[in-house]
Amino acid sequence: MAYPVALKSSRLPQGLRTMAQCLTASAVLALLTYLGFVLKINLLTVSFLYLLIVVAVASRFGFWQASFASMQAVLLLDYYFEPPLFSLEVASSGIFVALVTFEVTALAISRLHAREIRVTREAVIHRAGMEQLYELSRSSLLLDLRQPPGPQLGTLIKRIFDVDAVALFDMSLGRQDRIGNWDAGEEDLARECFLRDQSQDDASTQIWQRILRAGPGLVGALVVRGKLDALVVDALASLAAIAIDRHQWFDKEERAETAKKSEQLRATVMDALAHEFKTPLTAVQTASSGLLELGGLTETQRNLVTLIDGEAVRLNGLCTRLLKTAKLDTKQTDLETTNVNVLDLVSEVLASHLVEPERNSIQIAVEDPSLTVRADHGLLAMILTQYIDNARKYSTAGTPIAIAARASRSEVIISVQNFGSTIRIEDRERIFERFYRSPELKDSIPGTGIGLSVVRKAAEAHHGHVWVISDEKEGTTFFFSLPMEARRTL
């Protein structure tokens, strides 16, 4: 149900309406004067009757009409009821004081009564506005958050507040919705209000423009055309901002939930595929190794079997990474923490012939040979292996690869540095995302974009961090830090 926010006035213009009201008061006073004169009613009684008429005029029409009636009543009292009759002459000072007192009393009562009526009307308008705002706030809670809020809010505001037109601009969706009839040139008022970042009102056209804010930021703009109070419009803007903010948060939560389900599905598929690939790859690797052991192969055959064996080993390692990634994503990996000596770990990883000595020299700088960290040995070896493998692939031939480790107050920091292609600033965070590869290098150097994402997941499983710095002078250095004492979280 819609409640009016302003009392509807007569169709007559204001000046003509006031004149008609004054004439009505004059007619009533004239009738009373005639009856009082014919019936010879005394001055005191007529004065009280006049006073009642003045109060009635104030109650019905307003203060200025009552002021006119009171002045006319004083003149009628003096002319028809105070000797000398039919004259405006005042015979004594006492009568003059009485007439002045009557006028002051009538004006005071009229003023108080008019003020009381105005306060009452404002209270009615305020109560009606509060009821409308309550209905809007209750209805806004039932909005379909899967749909844009603009059309729904505009329809509610127009229906509840009985305004002519509503326009709402939603910054997050970049759309403007209009409800009602807008004149030519008013189609983009809401968008323009938002771009101007300034609220304003136009009393002549009854157009109210408000910026919508949710917290410290802007969320849109609201424009309403209709008979409204400024405070009501401010409250409307607040409710509209809250509704838009709720829609934005719902949209973010829904997208996050969708991404989470998609990630879970992807991890499940990766896990299943990796397991399925493991069996035939093991068979291929066993067969190729067996052929090499049996011997009797020509040089060409041996080269082909060696190629098959090497690629089977590489695919097997890739499947292992996929399995670890899936388990890290679904939090199914239990950390088997032990005290790992960092120098021994580096030597163990390098022994797996990741680096070709004739292409890159290796420099190891571990400040303390007894430096140990409490971590999962397998995951730690995988991190270091991936870093060294990346350094080998992206380094320039003849440049060194530097492996360093040091202890800070509460963590161990291990780094791998190489000299070659650099990483753009905008890619330094994204390269740790799954399947992302730098556009400048993805076509020239083979890779899957999986390794570094597994590194970050493994480091986070230890409450550690990974990052990279890169420039032409200092080269590219990948870091990962682990707490001295691992905390079990998976």
Domain of 156, in residue numbers: 145-254
CB 355 within 8 A of CB 388: yes
Of 392, 378, 264, nearest to 321 by C-alpha is: 378
Q: Determine the Cα–Cα distance for residues 434 and 452; give it in Å rounded to an integer.
A: 8
What are the pLDDT tens digits along the chain (490 aa)? 344 433 344 455 767 877 887 788 788 878 888 887 777 887 778 777 877 887 777 777 776 777 777 777 777 777 777 777 777 776 666 556 666 676 677 677 767 766 776 777 666 666 777 777 788 888 888 888 888 888 998 889 888 888 899 999 998 888 899 988 888 878 788 888 988 888 888 878 889 999 998 877 888 999 999 888 888 888 888 888 888 888 888 888 888 777 677 666 666 666 666 666 667 877 787 888 888 787 778 888 888 888 888 788 777 776 776 666 666 655 555 677 888 899 999 988 888 755 666 677 888 998 888 888 888 888 888 889 889 888 888 888 888 899 999 988 888 999 999 998 888 888 888 888 877 777 666 666 666 667 788 888 888 888 889 999 998 888 999 999 988 765 444 3
As beta bridge partners, residue 223 has 167, 209
Cα separation, 23 vs 114, in Å, equals: 19
Distance CA 58, CA 109 (A): 8
272 occurs within a structural domain = no
Statement to judge: residues 124 and 157 lie in one domain: no
Q: Which CATH number covers residue 150?
A: 3.30.450.40
Please check whether residues 211 and 91 belong to one and the same domain.
Answer: no
Listed in sequence order, the residues at least 6 apart from 276 whose beta carbon sits closer than 8 Å to its beta carbon are none
Distance CA(316)–CA(294), nearest Å, equals 23
For residue 291, the surrounding DSSP H or E stretch is helix 230-294
Residue type, 200: Q
Amino acid at residue number 186: E
Residue that finishes a domain, picked among 135, 156, 172:
135
Query: For the chain, how many structural domains are there in total?
Result: 3
In a domain, residue 270? The reply is: no
DSSP state of 82: S
Distance CA 239, CA 154 (A): 12
Quick one: DSSP state of residue 395?
B
Instruction: Please list, in sequence order, all residues whose beta carbon lies within 8 angstroms of the beta carbon of residue 184, skipping any fewer than 6 positions away.
Output: none
Q: Are residues 58 and 117 in the same domain?
A: yes
